Structure 1
Amino acid sequence: MLTGIHVAFIGGDARQLEVIKRCIQLDAIVKLIGFDNLESNFTGATKRPLSCDVLKDADALILPIVGTDDNGYVESIFCSKQLKLQEEHIACLQDHCVVYTGMAKPYLRALLDPKNIPLVELLDRDDVAIYNSIPTVEGALMMAIQNTDITIHGSECIVLGLGRTGLSMARALHALGAHVHVGARRQEHLARIYEMGLTPFHISELRQNVTNVDFIFNTIPQLILTAEVIAQMPQSAFILDLASKPGGTDFRYAERRGIKALLAPGLPGIVAPKTAGQILAQTLSRLIAEQMISRGNQHD
């Protein structure tokens, strides 16, 4: 339970609604900032403006997946006016307040560091990333089917990277009957790919492995699908880049060659916002409860 704990939300999308519901269910005191246009009212939550008066009591401050942009603005689909998180707002937070977000840009870090406000980036956590790989893979399969005229079954697929998303992607493609080749760098990843019954290759050999590919799913957040690599691919190939912006593909050259290449970061919030929100709600409620227990132990 989160009885008596003050939780403030600033902005967000449909995923945030699931987190709000969970906090109310666990008896937290919930304040909503940037939810003016939200049609449904949550019993047990109050809508407030972005001000020091609202933030000074917060034990936990929850921001959207991308906490702020490079200029400090917080995205909210439920608010028509802009929300900008500034130094004066952070100065109001209590020392024990923890800020939760999906990922933090330098602007947010620069605000929090001088006051030593704890920051938790949820997308850095293995549990959240593994859970999120489920809607990511489902969304990736949907996009692959929509943008091609062949079945995944029997196709030649390449997955780049065997991280949390790459592993789930490779497993799903294999289960659908694709011929799956996985590119990785680490020897233990190459061994795992072999153990899974897939075809491993080292990233340095990518150019040689794309000559008859139908689908490429990239999860590596650096330029990996260069013009030199794309030049070796058949024009009918489809590239789906799942890495964070700007992705790992030379999209300009892919377009010039007539190869369809799409950047699709953040698929969980697009294809399954309710499930993605429930994943965040489960993790956040546990972390906030642990935070309060830890704080109580420090005061004993």
Structure 2
Amino acid sequence: MLTGIHAAFIGGDARQLEVIKKFIELDAAVTLIGFDNWESNFTGAVKRPLSADVLRDVDALILPIVGSDDKGYVESIFCSKPLQLTEELLTVLPSRCCIYTGMARSFLRNMAALHNLSLQEFLNRDDVAIYNSIPTVEGALMMAIQNTDFTIHNSISLVLGLGRVGLSMARVLHALGAHVRVGARKSADLARIFEMGLTPFHIDELSQHVDDADLIFNTIPHLVITAKVIANMQHHALIIDLASKPGGTDFRYAEKRGIKAILAPGLPGIVAPKTAGQITANILSRLVFEQMVNGRNQNGSQG
């Protein structure tokens, strides 16, 4: 339970609604900022404008997955007015408050460091990334089916990277009957790929493995599908780049060659916002609960 915790939510998309529901169920006091156009009302939550007065007694400040931009602006699909966090607003947060976001850009990180604010970025946690790999893989499969005229079964499918998403992607493609090749750098990852019954190759040798590829799923967040690689691909091949922007594909050259390449980051929030929101809600409620317990322990030891 989060009884006694004041959580303020600033902006967000459909995923944030699931987090809000969870916090209300756990008896937190919930303030919603930037939800003016949300027609339904949450019983147990109060809508307020963004102001210093609202933030003075907040225990947990919860931002959208993408946090804010480099000027402090926070996106909200439920508000037509711009929401901007400023240094003046953040400095009124009590010392016990923690800011939670999926990822933080320079503005939030700089403000946290400058004013000794507690900031937690949860998107890169192993548990979050593994849970999110499920809707990511489903979304990638949906895109592959929508953009090809052949089955995934019996296709030659390449997965680049054996991280949390790459591992799930390779496993599901194999289960669907694809001939799966996985590119990685680490010798341990290459051994794991072999153990899974898939075909491993070093990522530096990618250009040698794409000449007959039907589908390529990239999870590596830097340029790996270069012009040299694309030059060796067949025209019917499809690239689905799941890495964060700008991805790991030379999209300009792919277009020049007539090869379809799709940048598809953030698929959980697009294809399954309810599930993605529930994943976030479970993780955030646990983190805030731990914050509450740690705060009580510190107060007890000080007393």
TM bracket (short chain):
over 0.9
Per-residue deviation at 1:35?
Answer: 0.3
- Give structure 1 stretches of 5+ with no counterpart: none
Q: Which amino acid aligns with 1:115?
A: H
Per-residue deviation at 1:277?
Answer: 0.2
Which position in structure 1 is the counterpart of 2:241?
241
Which position in structure 2 is the counterpart of 1:280?
280
* Superposition pairs of residues 1-300 of structure 1, within 5 angstroms: 1-300=1-300
Per-residue deviation at 1:166?
Answer: 0.3
Q: Which amino acid aligns with 1:283?
A: I
Aligned length: 300
- Aligned-residue CA RMSD (Å): 0.6
Q: Work out the CA distance in 2 between the residues paired with 1:71 and 1:169.
A: 36
Q: Which amino acid aligns with 1:225?
A: I
Q: Work out the CA distance in 2 between the residues paired with 1:70 and 1:238.
A: 34
Q: Work out the CA distance in 1 between the residues paired with 2:214 and 2:58.
A: 51
Q: Work out the CA distance in 1 between the residues paired with 2:200 and 2:41.
A: 52
Q: Is the 8 A contact 1:86 1:111 kept in 2?
A: no
Q: Helix, strand or coil for the counterpart of 2:182?
A: strand
Per-residue deviation at 1:71?
Answer: 2.0
Q: Work out the CA distance in 1 between the residues paired with 2:225 and 2:107.
A: 30
Q: Work out the CA distance in 1 between the residues paired with 2:89 and 2:157.
A: 49
Q: Helix, strand or coil for the counterpart of 2:201?
A: strand
Per-residue deviation at 1:78?
Answer: 0.1
Q: Helix, strand or coil for the counterpart of 1:123?
A: coil
Q: Helix, strand or coil for the counterpart of 1:92?
A: coil
**141-150 vs 103-112, which moves further:** 103-112
Q: Work out the CA distance in 2 between the residues paired with 1:71 and 1:215.
A: 39
Q: When the two structures are superposed, what TM-score results if normalisation uses the length of structure 2?
A: 0.98
Q: Work out the CA distance in 1 between the residues paired with 2:171 and 2:116.
A: 41
Q: Work out the CA distance in 1 between the residues paired with 2:191 and 2:54.
A: 53
Q: Which amino acid aligns with 1:81?
A: K
Q: Is the 8 A contact 1:12 1:75 kept in 2?
A: yes
Q: Work out the CA distance in 1 between the residues paired with 2:97 and 2:290.
A: 13
Per-residue deviation at 1:297?
Answer: 0.6
Q: Work out the CA distance in 1 between the residues paired with 2:113 and 2:29.
A: 26
Q: Helix, strand or coil for the counterpart of 1:299?
A: helix
Q: Work out the CA distance in 2 between the residues paired with 1:210 and 1:64.
A: 38
Q: Work out the CA distance in 2 between the residues paired with 1:56 and 1:165.
A: 39
Q: Work out the CA distance in 1 between the residues paired with 2:201 and 2:178.
A: 17
Per-residue deviation at 1:180?
Answer: 0.3
Structure 1 residues 226-275: Cα deviation after superposition (integer angstroms, max 9, x where no partner): 11110111011000000000000000000000000000000000000000
Q: Helix, strand or coil for the counterpart of 2:91?
A: helix
Q: Is the 8 A contact 1:123 1:129 kept in 2?
A: yes
Q: Helix, strand or coil for the counterpart of 2:77?
A: coil
Q: Which amino acid aligns with 1:107?
A: F
Q: Helix, strand or coil for the counterpart of 2:66?
A: coil
Q: Which amino acid aligns with 1:166?
A: G
Q: Work out the CA distance in 2 between the residues paired with 1:286 and 1:252.
A: 43
Q: Work out the CA distance in 2 between the residues paired with 1:119 and 1:181.
A: 39
Structure 1 residues 115-134: Cα deviation after superposition (integer angstroms, max 9, x where no partner): 11111111110000000000
Q: Helix, strand or coil for the counterpart of 1:50?
A: coil
Per-residue deviation at 1:70?
Answer: 2.1
Q: Work out the CA distance in 2 between the residues paired with 1:160 and 1:177.
A: 18
Per-residue deviation at 1:95?
Answer: 1.0
Q: Work out the CA distance in 1 between the residues paired with 2:213 and 2:179.
A: 10
Structure 1 residues 159-210: Cα deviation after superposition (integer angstroms, max 9, x where no partner): 0000000000000000000000000001110011000000000011101011
- Give structure 2 stretches of 5+ with no counterpart: none
Q: Is the 8 A contact 1:87 1:111 kept in 2?
A: yes
Q: Helix, strand or coil for the counterpart of 1:243?
A: coil
Q: Helix, strand or coil for the counterpart of 1:141?
A: helix
